[in-house]
């Protein structure tokens, strides 16, 4: 059975897992998270997590992108899985990097397919799902810093054309390096 060791392969500049038998390099790459800020009547759809990490805290419908789907398809799938919502993607709202845990998050702005009668409910990974106005968002119970960033991007973008996607806030370093005593 093959074994792997951490070393810098020839021609590379960082440690990688390398097979001691054949030299195969097992690259470890960031995971892509896709999700959406789903808006109806000026309110945003949020899910209270039924799973760890951060069980019981509020988030946007989002999760890891699957092989064979586009980012927008993945965001729509996550909305169906977590919030039983059929959505239409409006555009890319933000791309957030969380390098310290190896994630790139692509968050879209979206609306319900049936805008006049939005349907949603708690999927298997959600304890409950609700629409919140800006003033009623449970800010103290938000699961992850990136949810704050996405909600701020949504608020800033408004209802018009999105323009260039937002990125990590320059003043919030949680995406680029670990903060003492903080885990996401």
Residues 3-26: tens digit of each pLDDT: 999 999 999 988 999 999 999 999
Strand-pair category, 87-98 with 31-40: unpaired
Q: How far is Cα 180 from Cα 36, in angstroms, rounded to an integer?
A: 29
- Residue-wise pLDDT for 84-135, tens only, equals 999 999 999 999 999 889 999 999 999 999 999 999 999 999 999 999 999 9
Cα–chain center distance at 168? 13
Helix (H, G, I), strand (E, B) or coil at 165: coil
Query: What is the mean predicted confidence (pLDDT) over 141-157?
Result: 96
- The two tokens of residue 126 are 């959600």
Res. 184: pLDDT tops 60: no
At residue 175, the pLDDT reads: 66
Smallest CA-to-CA distance from 126 within 61, 47, 59, 179 is with 47
Q: How far is Cα 69 from Cα 36, in angstroms, rounded to an integer?
A: 15
Res. 182: pLDDT tops 70: no
Strand-pair category, 126-132 with 87-98: unpaired
Q: How confident is the model at residue 80 (pLDDT cuts 50, 70, 90)?
A: very high
Better-scored residue on pLDDT, 53 or 171: 53
- Residue-wise pLDDT for 26-73, tens only, equals 998 999 999 999 999 999 999 999 999 999 999 999 999 999 999 999
**Which domains are present in the chain?**
31-160 (3.90.79.10)
């Amino acid at each position: 059975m093959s074994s792997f060791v951490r070393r810098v392969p020839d021609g590379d500049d960082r440690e990688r897992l390398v097979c001691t038998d054949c030299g195969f390099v097992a690259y470890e790459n960031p995971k892509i998270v896709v999700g959406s800020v789903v808006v109806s009547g000026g309110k945003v759809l949020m899910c209270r997590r039924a799973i760890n990490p951060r069980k019981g805290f509020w988030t946007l419908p989002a999760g890891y992108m699957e092989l064979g789907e586009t980012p927008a398809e993945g965001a729509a799938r996550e909305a169906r899985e977590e919030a039983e919502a059929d959505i239409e993607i409006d555009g890319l709202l933000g791309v957030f990097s969380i390098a310290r845990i190896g994630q790139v998050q692509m968050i879209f702005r979206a609306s319900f397919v049936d805008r006049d009668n939005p349907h949603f409910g708690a999927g298997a990974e959600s304890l409950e799902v609700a629409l919140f106005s800006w003033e009623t968002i449970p800010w103290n119970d938000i699961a992850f810093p990136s949810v704050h960033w996405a909600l701020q991007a949504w608020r800033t973008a408004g209802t018009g054309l999105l323009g260039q996607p937002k990125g990590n806030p320059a003043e919030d370093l949680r995406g680029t390096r670990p903060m003492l005593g903080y885990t996401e």
